[in-house]
Amino acid sequence: MSLSGEISGGVHRLDIRVYYEDTDHSGWVYHANYLKFCERGRSETLKLVGIEHKALERQDLFFIVRHMMCDFKAPAQIDDIVTVETRFKQASGARFVLDQQVMLDDKAVFQADVTLAMVNCEGRPQRIPREILDAMPQT
């Protein structure tokens, strides 16, 4: 597996080791860090399908998180290897929806439904280019 993870069966998977800096005083992953893990998963998914953030920025296009519904199911702790799974669900106009799960030993410890929107540098919605939609892995 590369640093960007891998795509198989329409699912992007990225392994992440839980470091001390990811935990709180209890030794469990601090809740906000699951969001960071998912951000890495989204970024690496785009990178693997050939979509570079810098190239989008040169076109004054940016992805923002429009909506996120989270479910914290179980804790992970220091030295665990978690796998962020990212699945493309649907797209329309300026947004698309992803399902993301953080897995530990084949068990979901965190799940998020994420709606991303594409905006320009003024923050106005922009239709997602067809080449980006076509590049997204399908399940």
Do the domain assignments include residue 103?
A: yes
- Rounded Cα distance between 27 and 136, Å, is 36
Do the domain assignments include residue 1?
A: no
In the chain, the number of structural domains is 1
* pTM confidence score: 0.93
* The token pair that represents 23 in the structure block: 């935990």
The tokens 């300026």 sit on which residue? 94
- Rounded Cα distance between 44 and 126, Å, is 22
Catalytic positions: 24
Q: What is the pLDDT of residue 133?
A: 87
Do the domain assignments include residue 39?
A: yes
What CATH number is associated with residue 64?
3.10.129.10
Chain segment 11-65, per-residue pLDDT in tens? 999 999 999 999 999 999 999 999 999 999 999 999 998 888 899 999 999 999 9
